[in-house]
Structure 1
Amino acid sequence: MTVLDLALLVVAGFFAGVVGFVTGLASIVSYPALLAVGLPPVAANVTNTVAMVGVGVGALTNSAREVVDTGPRVWWWTLYAALGGAVGAAVLLVAPPDSFEAIVPGFVALAALALLLQPRIRTLAGGRDLPRVFSVAVFVVAVYGGYFGAGAGVVFYALVLICTSEQIWRASILKSYLLGVANLVAAIGFAVFGPVHWGAAAAMAVGAFAGGYCGPPLVRRIPPNLLRVGVALAGFGLAVWLALR
């Protein structure tokens, strides 16, 4: 891999970090960039998971207080996300590469639709929190995040807004945090058992850290409803891309 390739990955990592924090769609930038520099699909997938840990670390560095202020429940969510990330990594390493390809576009599209309908869904739920549903869903989405992850941030975003009373700003932080936990645990498994390209992962992680760090101040300036609708529309776009690729 050339110096130019590594520089490209740093830049791609930065934009993936920003996009990942704001919309939850980091992989739509990072994964194609890894393919573009010559990594085969499975190596690109596991390398991407390792590199995207940088987004969560960067975002957490700039928003740790908000995560802690969520209270004791966040530690249970952390556990469920970690367990899901471990299961997802194991599935990727032992299952056929196309195991989930048929359902992934529908999975992402459903989350995008839920985001669009979030105010109505919350009204139908009487504004109540749904802690048991959310806990199970965190584990399931973390499995997907550890396995492939494209659009997992959108799904986490939808879950936080629908199953809890958190506002959009805090939902952005929790989405990045929970996905970061799943990615970190999966990355540890890939580091031991997977074909990680460490040069590419390190270069992209540097950019991803910077992008994730810049994410929280940027989201503060975006009107909440505009952000919710924008993420939903981007999620639909990702679902179409995943279905056609």
Structure 2
Amino acid sequence: MDLLEAALILVAGTAAGTINAAVGSGSLITFPTLLAFGIPPVTANVSNNIGLVPGGVASVWGYRRELADQRRRLLVLGSMSVLGGVVGAVLLLVLPASAFRSVVPVLIGVAVVLVALQPWIQRRLARRRDGREARADIGPGAMVATALIGVYGGYFGGAQGILLVGALGTLMTESLQRLNALKNGLVTAVNTVAAVTFLVVAPGQVDWRVVVLIAVGSTVGGLIGSRIGRRLPQPVLRAVIVVVGLLAIVNLLRPA
């Protein structure tokens, strides 16, 4: 890895941390960047996951006010996220690398569609909330959805946050800002438990140079994203994520 590649990975990590805190789908920036520099897909995914954990912690800290009265949600849904994250991380490690290379383009494709449709999803959620009071209860549907998204997040994770906001927004009547804060906590739980699993079970898949660069960048980005929130130019960010995601699909589908 030369100096230019290191600088670009650091920039990608900062962008991912910012996008994750304010929108979600930051992995669609960092993961394709790592692939472009020739890092094997599984190693890129594992290292990216570990590197994004500090950024997630920073985003949770930035949204601490919105999370102050959601501790029960974090505890209950967070336990579902942890269970799902462990399952997803184990699947990544036990399935052959060829399976990951085959499945991830599909996952990225789904993630790109979700990112592109996010404004429509938000409008639908806003209309659904009209005239209704926020509910603090957590039903079985929210728990199952969180666990399944946790499996997805432990295995890959791109657009995990968009999936959570969309799913929980249809199951709980809540503001998008508070859902975004909850999403940051749940995604961080998934990434953390997956990172621990990777470190314990497959430390050889970790590229520590990548981890450090993304960790530094994502921490800075997490603090930035949590501060500016909706003031980010989301249409521009959404367009960048979609383009990068499509490039990642093309890169993964190319003959090895």
TM-score range, shorter chain: 0.7 to 0.9
TM, length-normalised to structure 1: 0.83
TM, length-normalised to structure 2: 0.80
The residue number in structure 2 matching 1:77 is 77
Would you say 1:33 and 2:33 are equivalent positions? Answer: yes
Change (3 A) 1:71 1:176: closer
The residue number in structure 2 matching 1:215 is 225
The residue number in structure 1 matching 2:16 is 16
The residue number in structure 2 matching 1:148 is 156
Deviation per residue, 1:31-69 (Å, 9 max, x gap): 122223331111101111111112211111222232232
Deviation per residue, 1:153-208 (Å, 9 max, x gap): 21112123222222111122222221111011001111122301012101111110
Give aligned-pair identity as a percent. Answer: 32
Code of the residue aligned with 1:192 in structure 2: it is V
Correspondence list, 1:110-121, <5 A: 113=117, 116-120=120-124
Q: Distance between the aligned counterparts of 1:193 and 1:182, measured in 2? A: 16
Q: Distance between the aligned counterparts of 1:237 and 1:133, measured in 2? A: 33
The residue number in structure 2 matching 1:58 is 58
Structure 1, unmatched stretches of 5+, are none
Please report how far the alpha carbon of residue 11 of structure 1 lies from its aligned counterpart in structure 2 after TM superposition.
1.7
Change (3 A) 1:35 1:230: closer
Secondary structure at the residue paired with 2:38?
coil
Q: Say if 1:111 and 1:155, in contact at 8 Å, map to a contact too.
A: no
Q: Say if 2:111 and 2:158, in contact at 8 Å, map to a contact too.
A: no
Deviation per residue, 1:89-132 (Å, 9 max, x gap): 00100113246347523466368647614544675698585722
Q: Distance between the aligned counterparts of 1:188 and 1:58, measured in 2? A: 18
Q: Say if 1:50 and 1:201, in contact at 8 Å, map to a contact too.
A: yes
Correspondence list, 1:87-102, <5 A: 87-95=87-95, 96-98=99-101, 100-101=103-104
Q: Distance between the aligned counterparts of 1:132 and 1:233, measured in 2? A: 35
The residue number in structure 2 matching 1:161 is 169
Please report how far the alpha carbon of residue 136 of structure 1 lies from its aligned counterpart in structure 2 after TM superposition.
0.7
The aligned length equals: 241
Q: Say if 1:115 and 1:232, in contact at 8 Å, map to a contact too.
A: no
Structure 1 counterpart of 2:207, from 165, 184, 197: 197
Would you say 1:137 and 2:145 are equivalent positions? Answer: yes
> CA RMSD for the aligned pairs?
2.9
The residue number in structure 1 matching 2:254 is none
Secondary structure at the residue paired with 1:50?
helix
Q: Say if 2:13 and 2:221, in contact at 8 Å, map to a contact too.
A: yes
Change (3 A) 1:200 1:244: closer
Structure 2, unmatched stretches of 5+, are 252-256
Q: Say if 2:32 and 2:247, in contact at 8 Å, map to a contact too.
A: no
Q: Distance between the aligned counterparts of 2:246 and 2:32, measured in 1? A: 15
Secondary structure at the residue paired with 1:13?
helix
Code of the residue aligned with 1:5 in structure 2: it is E
